[in-house]
Amino acid sequence: MNLKHINIVLVAVGLMFSQTSCRKSFLDTKLDTQPTPENLYQDYKNLIKLANAPYAYLQNYNEFQILDGNLMAPVTDEAVQTNNYGSVYTFNEGSWNQFNNPNDYYNYYYAGIFSTNYFFEFLGKIGDYKKFLALNRDTITTASKNEYHNDVQKMKWSIAEAHILRAYFHFELAKRYGRVPLVKQTYAAGEKAGLVQSSFEDVVSFIVSEVDQYKNDLQPNWKVSSFATDDGKFSKGSALALKARVLLYAASPLHNASNDVSKWQAAAAAANEAVVFAQRTDINGGQNNLDANYRNYFLGNNTLTSSETILAVRYFPSSTMEQLNYPVATPGGNTGITPTQNLVDAYEYTAAPDPANPYANRDPRLGFTVVTNGSTWNGRTIDQSSAGTDAMTRTNASKTGYYLKKFLIDNVDLINNFTNPHNWPVYRYGELLLEYSEAMNEAYGPDNSNGYILSARGALNMVRARPGVGMPGVIAAGKDGFRNALKRERQVELAFEDHRYWDLLRWNDAAVVQNQAVNGVAITKNSNGQFLYTPKVVQKRVFVSPKMYYFPFPQSEISISNGSLAQNPGW
C-alpha cells in the first residue's frame, strides 16, 4: 500500500486500464499527465476517470492467470500442475511464508481501497459533483445536454459502486489475513505505520453496512438498462451477492468457532435477499436463471450474456488458456494443470458403474469439466495408454490421467494463434443458490424454509436439476448429512472457479484435505484393447495447521508498522 505515491498510483491505474481493458465505455481511466490539483480540477472527465479507476483492481486480478499464469486450482485437491517447477509448489510443500507468498495481494487490494478513498476525498473537495460535471462543456444543445444528464446519473451510481468496491477489497483482504486494517481515508507515508488492525467481525460489519447503505443507489441491472455498455460494473444484484458471501464466510467454522446460529441466520437472510432480488421479473430487476448449458456457460461471451451471471469480469480475447491446458498431443497444447482423481471421485454415478468405463453413468458435469480417457475432444479420441497419442510417458503429458475442459473452448487453432474471449464469473446464480442452501441448512435445517423463498434442500436440488445436468435430488437426512452433500455439490458445481481453497479454509477442513495426497490413474490396455485404470499417488501435500488457515502479513508491512500490525500466529 505504497500510500505516499498518490499521484503515481492514479497514473498507474489509468495505464493498467489502457493496457488490459477491452471495455472502453467505463474502463477508460487514463489520465494523460500526472494528476496534480491544477489539471484534476480543469476537466470534468477526470472525475469520471477517478470514479472508474478502482475497477482496475477488479479487472487486473486475473483469475485465469493468478498462479504461475494459470488457475489457482493446483493448490487444492482439484488439480496438479504438470510442470515440476513454479510457485504452486511453494504452497503445496508448505514452504510459503511472510517473505514469499505467491498469493500475496495485500498491497494490491489496499491500493484499490486507496483508489476509492481518493475518489471520495476528491468528491468532498469539489462539492456538488453535478456542477463539476457541467464545467467546460455544452449542457444546452440537446445531444450534449443528454450526455451531461447521463454523466450525472452514472456518477450517482459510481459513488455507490465505489463504496461496494471498497467493501469488496476489504473482504478479499479479510478472507486471506483475518484481522486487517479498515482503511476509510487516504494516508501519507508517515501515517501508514499507525494503521490499526480491525477484527474480522468488524470488517464484516463494515462491509454489510456499506452494502445496506448503498444497495438502492446502484443500477439494478445493467443488461436491461439504457446503459448496457456499462455491464460489468457492480449492480444491486452483485452487491447483494457480495453481502451474502461475506456473511456466509463469517458464519463458517473458521470465523464462528462457537457455531453461533445467529450468524448462520444472518447469512441465510442475506442470501434470501439476494435470491429474491435475482428472481425479480420487473424491468428494474431482471431475472437470473440457471443456464441451460453448463458446458457452454463458461465459454467465450456466453458468460457475459447468460442470465445466470450476476457479475463477470471481461478480458481481451486470447488463446492462453488453451495453449496452457490443451493436451500436449494437441498441436500447440502444453497440458498445464490437470484434474485429480480426488475431484473425479466427487462426481456421482447416476446408474450402476460400468466396469469397462468408470466415466460412464456419471454426473454430466464430469464430462463438461474434465477430459477423461477414451472420450472424444477436439476431433480425436483421448488415448493415454502406452501406445496412445496421449501416452502418459510423453514429456509434459498429464500425470493424473485427466485434462482440464472447463473454460477451454473446443477446436481452437493454436498454430495460427486464433483467439477467443474468456470471461470470469465473479458471482453467478448457481453459486448463490449453494450459498443460500448452506446458510439455510445451518440456520434452520435442510427442509425448513423459515418463510423464505426456498428451503436448503430446494435450493440445492435446483442446482442439481439444472437443464442439461438433471441430477436427482439429494435425499440426505439431517443437518449433518445434508452438510456433507452440500460440500460435495460445491466441489462439483464450482470446480476450478477458485472456491475450493477458500471453502476448505472456512470449513476448517484444510488440515485434513490439504494434507492428503492427490491421486490419479495409470492407464494401460489389455490384450483385448480394453482400457485398464490403476490408482496411483501423484503428489503429496503439506498444510501446517493451524497457522496456514490465515495468510502471513508481508514482513515488509510488519516492519514498517512500528508494532501496529501484529503478525498472524505461527508465522
Query: Distance from CA of residue 566 to its chain's centroid?
Result: 28
Q: What is the pLDDT of residue 190?
A: 64
Q: How buried is 20 (Cβ within 10 angstroms: 0-12 exposed, 13-18 middle, 19+ buried)? A: middle
What value does the mean pLDDT take over residues 553-565? Answer: 93
User: Of the given ranges (28-32, 130-134, 333-337), which has the lowest mean pLDDT?
Assistant: 28-32
Do the Cβ atoms of 148 and 137 come closer than 8 Å? yes
Helices (H) and strands (E) in the chain, counts: 22, 12
Distance, in Å, from the CA atom of 155 to the CA atom of 75, rounded to the nearest integer, reads 40
CATH code for the structural domain at 219-317+421-505: 1.25.40.900
Q: Residue 376 pLDDT > 50, yes or no?
A: yes
Q: Which residues pair with 211 in a beta bridge?
A: none
What value does the mean pLDDT take over residues 11-17? Answer: 38
Contacts of 282 (CB under 8 A, 6+ apart): none
Contacts of 336 (CB under 8 A, 6+ apart): 70, 81, 82, 324, 325, 326, 404
Q: Residue 142 pLDDT > 80, yes or no?
A: yes
Do the Cβ atoms of 311 and 235 come closer than 8 Å? yes
Q: What is the pLDDT of residue 478?
A: 96
- DSSP string covering 428-480: EHHHHHHHHHHHHHHHH-SS--TTSS--HHHHHHHHHT-TTT-PPPP---HHH
Query: Distance from CA of residue 331 to its chain's centroid?
Result: 30
Q: Residue 10 pLDDT > 70, yes or no?
A: no
Instruction: Tell me the per-residue pLDDT of 408-417, one tens digit each, with 9 for 90 and over.
Output: 999 999 999 9
Look at residue 310 and give its three-state secondary structure.
Answer: strand
Q: What is the pLDDT of residue 501?
A: 98
552 torsion bin: left (phi>0), alpha (psi -120 to 50), beta (else): beta
What value does the mean pLDDT take over residues 393-397? Answer: 96
Instruction: Tell me the per-residue pLDDT of 207-257, one tens digit each, with 9 for 90 and over.
Output: 999 999 999 999 999 998 999 999 999 999 999 999 999 999 999 999 999
Instruction: Tell me the per-residue pLDDT of 502-517, one tens digit each, with 9 for 90 and over.
Output: 999 999 999 999 999 9
DSSP strands (E only) in 188-278: 197-198
Mean of the per-residue pLDDT values of the chain: 92
What band does 33 get if pLDDT is binned at 50, 70 and 90? very low
Q: Residue 531 pLDDT > 80, yes or no?
A: yes
Distance, in Å, from the CA atom of 3 to the CA atom of 554, rounded to the nearest integer, reads 16
Q: Which of 450, 428, 171, 497 is nearest to 278 (CA)?
A: 428
What value does the mean pLDDT take over residues 521-528? Answer: 96
% residues pLDDT > 70 (the chain): 92
What band does 473 get if pLDDT is binned at 50, 70 and 90? very high
Q: Residue 6 pLDDT > 60, yes or no?
A: no
Q: Residue 312 pLDDT > 90, yes or no?
A: yes
Say what the pTM is: 0.94
Do the Cβ atoms of 487 and 435 come closer than 8 Å? no
Q: How buried is 472 (Cβ within 10 angstroms: 0-12 exposed, 13-18 middle, 19+ buried)? A: exposed
Sign for the pseudo-dihedral over CA of 85, 89, 90, 95: negative
Q: Identify the DSSP state of 191.
A: G
Long-range pairs of 137-143 with CB within 8 A, sequence gap ≥ 24: 137/44
Q: What is the pLDDT of residue 37?
A: 64
Distance, in Å, from the CA atom of 293 to the CA atom of 101, rounded to the nearest integer, reads 37
User: Of the given ranges (97-106, 187-196, 546-555), which has the lowest mean pLDDT?
Assistant: 187-196
Q: Residue 12 pLDDT > 80, yes or no?
A: no
Q: Residue 341 pLDDT > 90, yes or no?
A: yes
Query: Distance from CA of residue 464 to its chain's centroid?
Result: 21
CA angle 234, 239, 241 (to 5 degrees): 120
Distance, in Å, from the CA atom of 256 to the CA atom of 248, rounded to the nearest integer, reads 10
Do the Cβ atoms of 335 and 382 come closer than 8 Å? no
Q: What is the pLDDT of residue 42?
A: 81
Distance, in Å, from the CA atom of 211 to the CA atom of 218, rounded to the nearest integer, reads 10
